[in-house]
Amino acid sequence: MARRYDPDRRRRIIDAAIRVAARDGLAGLSHRTVAAEADVPLGSTTYHFATLDDLLVAALRQASEGFAGVLAASGVLADADGDLAAGLARVLGQWLVGDRPGTELEYELYLAALRRPALRPVAAEWAEQTAALLAARTDPVTARALLALMDGICLQVLLTGGAYDEEYAREALSRVIPRVPPGT
């Protein structure tokens, strides 16, 4: 029997892993559940991802493109004269409201790094890349502080089920951003 050429299979398996994790949580994720979701033989999942951690790393890498993509596409970081705090608060709200299940999944995968050391480098990569984006408008230390604050705001909203308060986020973010005296 000839082997079927399927160049997108790896990507379909990752997409299926993300759907399974979103639907059933990380506890419901296995090579078997992902193979069923992707409609591929079980051997395909283990061929592309030898361990479940390998599959989770790929899923986290793909899912973590969410906020960074929204931030990069927003134009907030390119507007050197714009109100950074207001722009970040607006983008954060768009991201949280736009795809709440996707946001929840991104954080679930991100926080899984607490118990799965294989995920830590990807989580650190995500934090570094996002801080580097923010550093385009501020210094590196402030960029990391802004990221930490935005993570905290997101987690509070996601964990409490509360509504996102853009004005609160704007005010909190503005307190982290250094005030630059006029003429400097």
Q: Which helix (H) or strand (E) holds 133?
A: helix 120-134
Provide CATH 1.10.357.10 ranges for the chain. 64-176
DSSP 40-82: S-HHHHHHH-SSHHHHHHHHHHHHTHHHHHHHHHHSTTT-TTS
The pLDDT, as a whole number, for residue 3 is 54
The pLDDT, as a whole number, for residue 103 is 84
* CATH number of 64-176, picked from 1.10.357.10, 3.40.50.2300, 3.40.1160.10, 3.30.200.20: 1.10.357.10
Cα 155 → chain centroid: 12
In this structure, are residues 34 and 13 in contact, taking their beta carbons and an 8 Å threshold?
yes
* CATH number of 9-59, picked from 1.10.10.60, 3.40.50.720, 3.10.105.10, 1.10.3720.10: 1.10.10.60
Closest-CA residue to 17 (of 110, 107, 112, 105): 105
The pLDDT, as a whole number, for residue 59 is 85
The pLDDT, as a whole number, for residue 172 is 97
Q: How far apart are CA 148 and CA 128, in angstroms?
A: 11
Q: How far apart are CA 99 and CA 74, in angstroms?
A: 16
Rounded to 5°, the CA angle 176-157-112 comes to 95
Provide CATH 1.10.10.60 ranges for the chain. 9-59
Q: What is the pTM of this model?
A: 0.81
Rounded to 5°, the CA angle 158-124-80 comes to 80
In this structure, are residues 4 and 26 in contact, taking their beta carbons and an 8 Å threshold?
no
In this structure, are residues 63 and 123 in contact, taking their beta carbons and an 8 Å threshold?
no
Q: How far apart are CA 33 and CA 24, in angstroms?
A: 10
Q: How far apart are CA 88 and CA 32, in angstroms?
A: 40
10-residue stretch averages of pLDDT, the chain, 184 residues long: 70 92 88 94 93 89 79 88 94 87 83 88 88 92 96 93 94 90 46
